[in-house]
Amino acid sequence: MSQTQSARQDTAPNAQTTTQSAPNTSNASDISGTGNTNDAPTKCAHCQLVYPLSKLTRSKRADSEGRALYFCCNGCESVYFLLQNSGFGGFYDRLGENVLSPIGDISDAGKNASQTSANTKSYLDEPSFLQKHAKPAKIASKNNKTTPNNSAPELLEISAIIEGIHCAACVWLNENVLGLKPGIHQARINYTNNKAKIIFDPSIIKLSEIFALIESIGYRAHIYDPSLQEKLLLKAQKSFFNAFVVGVFCTMSIMMVAIAQYAGYFRGMSASMKDVLNLVSCLLATPVLFFTGRVFFSGAYHGLKNRYIGMDFLVAFGASLTFIYSIYAAITRSGETYFESVAMIILFVFSGKFLEMKAKSAAGDSIDRLHTILPNVVDVESEGKIIQKEVKSLQMGDIVRMKPGEMLPCDGVALQSVLLDMQSISGESMPVAKSRGEELLSGSIALESAFAYEVRQSYEGSMMSKIINLLEESLNHRPKIQNLANALSKYFSRVVLFIALCGFCGWWAASGDAQQALIITISVIVISCPCALALATPIASVVGIERAYKAGIIFKEARFLESLARASIVVFDKTGTLTSGKHTLVSRKDLCALDEAGENLLANFVSLSAHPISKAIYETLTLSEPIALEAHSQVDSRGTSAVYKGARGGLRGRGLGGDLSGDLKSKVKSVRLLGGSLAFLADNGVDISSARDLEDVDSESMSVFGYSVGGALVAVFYLQDTIKSDALALINYLKSQHKQIALISGDREGVVASVARALGIEQWHANMLPEQKVEFIKAKRKEAESKAESKSDASASADSRNTESKNGAGGLDSGISDSVESSAFGEMLHDKGGVVMIGDGLNDILAIQNAQVGISMGAGSDIAIAQSDVVVLDDTLKSVQKAFEIAAQTYSRIKQNILLSIIYNALLIPLALAGFVIPLIAALSMSVSSLIVVGNSMRKPARK
């Protein structure tokens, strides 16, 4: 039966609902309308399984061409017409020769399966269940940075495992069916582990309805369980080990037989004895090929189903050719057998694959282990008793008792002194002492003694959960350079097969020896290694992300490793980034006397701000009585630096203001309070001339904070900030890497100039509002992009001239089709471009968001974690330098891996084609090349 017409649409929107036949639906085209009742083998139109015709039910409806449709059960029939009527007929084109599991029995039991499933799984919609397994969804902003969804209605994100996915067509079907359902905003499925991430609106569609929808098209969904994932990994490793043991035992036995065969080759051996040894070798090679090597046949099968030829196909094809030829040579007693080569090819490559799997597992161990180190239940004090409670059910105010060695599951406040190991959070190995009332972060481990603390944050909102989520997300995104490696490997295997075929024909025609031509062909196929290309980026990225995490640095996506390495411009904020942010009060000048009530008012006022300057002033004051201040304004509602740089009358980022209702002996019932820079006070109508007349304070390099009451300047504070001890080392490192450095700050010109001079920063800007910082970042981005484009254009012109001078000789691009453009190579060779913004995550979030890479120094700031691309947990510039170093090393190793793979194949494939490499050495070489790539990715950086 012919395939369905190519005009069938692959996607559902606007698709016609005309019923169309599935490819190879059945043999019904031969019998439709004839009344034939024979038992000819016939395929079910949906699941594609073959049955005797008498076991199938003929549908009352035909396909678009009038041919009969046969189904093994009502479930398959229902799903078939559901897909056709929904415009998903393209699923059967993508399915190809694959088969599916039947939906239900040949009875009426499956007709209402989806409704029944939704009813029986109503527990999925319970608020307690959703609170435990779902989390607020994150949506992508315009600049492709993930941000929490704060707008109504609230979206939820659920992770699930979809059972029954066999190929890419299954992934396509599920994603498209779910994507068209109202209320489902996103459905993304990972083909390698069948894990789905579904974002939905619970007010429109229930989770039970989503799972029922998945079951209605022939699959099953389960809530994702990390412990189950770990069990599956251990099961896979055990299976690999068993196959490896069988391979080693049989291969060693074959080699002992081969020794006898080699001896007979020189001393002579009877034909009957040679037959016996060949038979034993064949019997021993069979389990190696089909049991140990089943992973290659499985990979080849799935690859061919998805129109992809990879390393698995090349190994399985080469070993099978050698095995078949050896059987032929043994039966006909013509030529030599190569059963030992079959076993060695499989064993060598399988060993490399086994070590590769162990290496990848080890590379992500620190990240995967985070799922299991957090406790599932903890001891909680409740009405004078100790009860056990699930950590995901902990609420703010719960009193949790921790034992030595246990990890804190939620953020909270210490109720007694405690010594903690915070290495999981900050990367610092030294124990940290916390006193009563101090903040504790989840992920910290109790040392020495048991203690109690009060929960102040939910499990999902605590630091360790955020870190785990960020690390998981980082592993699901690919760097841009991986597109180059994937495109190369995609066409590589096809080119190798073409070369091998040409080599076979050429050697057979030249020598007339089909055996020699076949052996050379097998060597060419086996020695080629697209696997090294495919491994070039993923392992290096995982290793880089893990190394960064161990150093107290979180890359939210793997692509930021590449972006940071390629960046050409680095922009710093001043306060809290290059300086310590811990201001010291040098001098205070009162322009009018403040009594105790006035001092108390001032203390209450500055306590509103979290800015370092306000904190420093507050530490010198005494708050004797809390005062309720109303209508105070701030830049950010979370009480960060925005409080200091508050908005008043459209003037953002230059001060803070508030209203007081009360009587301060002046009998004024309402008075406006202002605090901030002198420029801010002046813009709001405060006379600052008296401050400028001060002669006893050298304020050129100091930060100035003015305080006014009712429009009159009351006091001026002069504060000094210190430059961080590791700031100069970071600046010198960036200069050595040829980065352009700029300093932007909202502080006064003299202060910014002083810091810039001390650190050797030539480009600096002062008195900048948040909006002006954003404009500066945007201008720098355009500058970096224009420089990158000019380099790319120059490279393209040079390539064009070189191509013309070679009379149109095809370059590398012509060998990998149009999918890989020359610009991809240009980006790798001229890898400069992009702007990095480094701030404290408090008063420069807008600038951080608009840079290609935003690095935040805010270890405990929710804003920093949500909006930054890279988070430095220990707040040190030494770690910022480490982030640049790790990014540069990772990107360098990715490029090294790609070049190593290209050089390996460019050298060894011609040698194999020339007949200098036997299949045994080819298998060993191919395994070694993959291990070299893995080893290069995992090697520790050289110590300086």
Question: Is residue 367 within 8 Å of residue 401, measured between CB atoms?
Answer: no
834 has pLDDT over 90: no
For range 85-98, the mean pLDDT: 65
What domain count does the chain have?
Answer: 5
Cβ partners under 8 Å of residue 332, min gap 6? none
Residue 40, burial from CB neighbour count under 10 angstroms (0-12, 13-18, 19+) = middle
The single-letter DSSP state of residue 369 is T
Q: Which of 401-405, 488-492, 770-774 has maximum average pLDDT?
A: 401-405
- Among 24-28, 68-72, 300-304, 310-314, the least confident range: 24-28
Q: Please, which residues bridge with residue 707 across strands?
A: 675, 715
- In this prediction, residues 420-446 reach a mean pLDDT of 77
DSSP per residue over 796-860, as a string? HHHHHHHHHHTTT---TGGGG-TTS-HHHHHHHHS----EEEEE-SSS-HHHHHHSSEEEE--TT
**Quick one: average pLDDT of 154-183?**
77
Q: Decide which of 562 and 139 is more confident.
A: 562
Does 394 fall in a domain? no
Query: Residue 796 and residue 822: Cα distance in Å, rounded?
Result: 8
448-461 pLDDT, tens digit each: 678 899 999 888 77
Examine the domain organization and report whether 741 and 769 are in the same domain.
yes
Q: Locate 714 and state its tokens.
A: 């009351």
- Under the banding of pLDDT at 50, 70 and 90, the label for residue 107 is very low
Domain CATH number, residue 157: 3.30.70.100
User: According to the model, what pLDDT value does residue 4 have?
Assistant: 34
Is residue 594 very low, low, confident or very high in pLDDT (cuts 50, 70, 90)?
A: confident
The type of residue at 100 is: L
d(CA 138, CA 157): 8
For the residues 425-438, what does the mean pLDDT come to?
73
pLDDT at position 112 is 44
Do 889 and 904 belong to one domain?
A: yes
Average pLDDT estimate for 146-164: 68
User: 362-374 pLDDT, tens per residue?
Assistant: 544 555 555 566 7
pLDDT at 775: 87
- 3-class DSSP string for 477-495: CCCHHHHHHHHHHHHHHHH
306, 178: one domain: no
pLDDT at 822: 39
Q: Is residue 21 part of a domain?
A: no
Residues 139 and 209 in one domain: yes
User: What is the spatial order of strands in the sheet that 569-573 belongs to?
Assistant: 553-555, 870-872, 853-856, 835-839, 569-573, 740-744, 763-765
pLDDT of residue 732: 94
Q: Is the pLDDT of residue 799 over 50?
A: no
Peptide bond between residue 153 and the one before it cis (omega within 30 degrees of 0): yes
Residues in Cβ contact with 729 at an 8 Å cutoff, skipping those fewer than 6 apart:
877, 878, 881
- Which of 224, 252, 277 is the last residue in one of the domains? 224
Residue 445 in this model has a pLDDT that exceeds 60:
yes
Can you tell me the mean pLDDT for 484-512?
Answer: 79
CA distance 180 to 174: 10
Tokens for 166, please give them.
């066999």
Measured distance CA(861)–CA(377) in Å, rounded: 27
Lowest mean pLDDT among 148-157, 779-788, 868-877: 148-157
- Cα 482 to Cα 473: distance, rounded to the nearest angstrom: 17
Q: What confidence score (pLDDT) does residue 864 get? A: 55
For residue 617, how far is the Cα from the chain centroid?
A: 43
Q: What is the mean pLDDT of residues 281-287?
A: 93
Partnered with residue 162 across adjacent β-strands are 221
Beta strands in 630-686 (DSSP E): 630-633, 655-661, 670-676
> Among 191, 224, 257, where does a domain finish?
224
Query: pLDDT higher for 805 or 468?
Result: 468
Instruction: Sheet containing 670-676: give its strands across.
Output: 584-590, 712-720, 703-709, 670-676, 655-661, 630-633
Q: Is the pLDDT of residue 806 over 80?
A: no
User: What pLDDT does residue 900 have?
Assistant: 83
Q: Residue 781 domain-assigned?
A: yes
- Among 707, 702, 736, 735, smallest CA distance to 719 is for 702
Q: What is the predicted pLDDT for the residue at 529?
A: 63
Most confident stretch, 162-171, 187-196, 568-577, 933-942: 568-577
What's residue 561's pLDDT?
A: 86
> Which segment of 71-85, 346-360, 639-653, 793-807 scores lowest on mean pLDDT?
639-653
User: Which has more pLDDT, 400 or 868?
Assistant: 400
Residue 437, pLDDT above cutoff 80: yes
Same domain, 834 and 924: no
Considering the chain, what percentage of its residues have pLDDT values greater than 90? 10
Is the confidence at residue 475, as pLDDT, over 90? no
- Give domain status of residue 6, yes or no: no
Provide, rounded to the nearest whole percent, the portion of the chain with pLDDT above 70.
Answer: 67
Q: Are residues 81 and 99 in the same domain?
A: yes
Q: Which of 279-288, 424-433, 761-770, 846-855 has the highest mean pLDDT?
A: 279-288
Using 50, 70 and 90 to split pLDDT, how confident is the model at 463?
Answer: confident
616 has pLDDT over 60: yes
* Range(s) of the domain holding residue 632: 584-720
Enumerate residues 6+ apart whose C-beta is below 8 A from 689: none
Phi, psi of 203 (to 5 degrees): -80, -15
Q: Higher pLDDT residue, 11 or 849? A: 849
Residue among 5, 47, 7 at smallest CA distance from 25: 47
In a domain, 454, yes or no: no
Answer whether residue 714 shows pLDDT above 80.
yes
842 near 865, Cβ under 8 Å? Answer: no
Residue 836: band (very low, low, confident or very high) from pLDDT cuts 50, 70, 90? very high
pLDDT in the model for residue 743: 93
Q: Is 50 exceeded by the pLDDT of residue 643?
A: no
Check if the beta carbon of residue 22 is closer than 8 Å to that of residue 48: yes
Q: What is the pLDDT of residue 843?
A: 61
Asked whether 894 and 481 are in contact (CB, 8 A), the reply is yes
Residue 20 confidence (pLDDT) above 50: no
pLDDT above 70: residue 14 = no
Q: Assess if residue 413 is contained within a domain.
A: no
Whether 316 maps to a domain, the answer reads yes
Task: Return d(Cα 75, Cα 356) in angstroms, integer.
Answer: 42
| CA distances to 28, 31, 38 from 35, in Å | 11, 7, 9
- How far apart, in whole angstroms, are the C-alpha atoms of residue 237 and residue 221? 25
- For all residues of the chain together, what is the average pLDDT? 73
Residues 201 and 268 in one domain: no
Shortest CA distance to 554 belongs to which of 445, 457, 475?
475
Backbone angles phi, psi at 872, to 5 degrees: -95, 110
729 confidence band (pLDDT: 50, 70, 90): very high
Q: Which pLDDT score is estimated for 400?
A: 92
| Region of poorest pLDDT, from 108-117, 307-316, 808-817 | 808-817
pLDDT at 126 over 70: yes
| Poorest-pLDDT segment among 94-103, 653-662, 669-678, 739-748 | 653-662
In-domain check, residue 345: yes
Most confident among 222-231, 338-347, 622-631, 917-926 (mean pLDDT): 338-347
Q: What is the enclosing helix (H) or strand (E) of 360?
A: helix 339-363
pLDDT-derived band at 25, boundaries 50, 70, 90: very low
Q: CA-CA distance, 568 to 835, in Å (whole number)?
A: 6
Structure confidence at residue 22 (pLDDT): 40
Q: Which two tokens stand for residue 289?
A: 């090929």
User: Could you tell me the pLDDT band of residue 540, with boundaries at 50, 70 and 90?
Assistant: confident
Task: Let me know whether 639 and 750 are in one domain.
Answer: no
Nearest to 139 by CA among 154, 126, 123: 154
**Average pLDDT estimate for 299-309:** 68
Same domain membership, residue 878 and residue 900? yes
Q: What is the 3-state secondary structure (H, E, C) of 501-559?
A: HHHHHHHHHHHCCHHHHHHHHHHHHHHCCHHHHHHCCHHHHHHHHHHHHHCCEEECCCH
Judge whether 843 and 635 are in contact, CB under 8 Å.
yes
pLDDT at 841 over 90: no
What CATH number is attached to the domain comprising 893? 3.40.50.1000
**pLDDT tens digits, one per residue of 189-236:** 765 557 788 999 998 998 988 988 888 777 778 887 766 656 666 777
Least confident of 534-538, 666-670, 830-834, 847-851: 666-670
Q: What is the pLDDT of residue 662?
A: 38
CA angle 88, 92, 93 (to 5 degrees): 100
pLDDT at 29: 37
Question: End-to-end distance of the chain based on CA atoms, in angstroms?
Answer: 68
**Is the Cβ–Cβ distance between 781 and 852 less than 8 Å?**
yes
Per-residue confidence (pLDDT) for residue 226, from 0 to 100: 63
The answer on 89 and 121 residing in a single domain is: no
- pLDDT tens by residue, 27-38: 433 333 334 445
pTM above 0.75, yes or no: no
Q: Mark whether 139 and 119 lie in a shared domain.
A: yes
Beta carbons of 379 and 424 less than 8 angstroms apart: no
pLDDT attached to residue 800? 44
Q: Which two tokens stand for residue 621?
A: 């004051």
Place of tokens 């890497």: 737
Of 270-274, 301-305, 368-372, the range with the lowest mean pLDDT is 368-372
From 110, 137, 164, the end of a domain falls on 110
Distance between CA atoms of residues 346 and 319, nearest Å:
7
Same domain, 855 and 738: yes
Q: Is the pLDDT of residue 772 over 60?
A: yes
Over residues 67-88, mean pLDDT? 76
Three-state SS string over 27-66 comes to CHHHCCCCCCCCCCEEECCCCCCEEEHHHCEECCCCCCCC
**Of 464-468, 689-693, 696-700, 723-727, where does the model show the most confidence?**
723-727
Give Cα separations from 733 to 627, 727, 728, 833, 862 (angstroms). 49, 10, 9, 18, 29
Per-residue model confidence (pLDDT) at position 369? 57
Domain of residue 611, CATH code: 3.40.1110.10
Structure tokens at 786: 């224009």
Cα–Cα distance for residue pair 716/718, rounded to 1 Å: 7
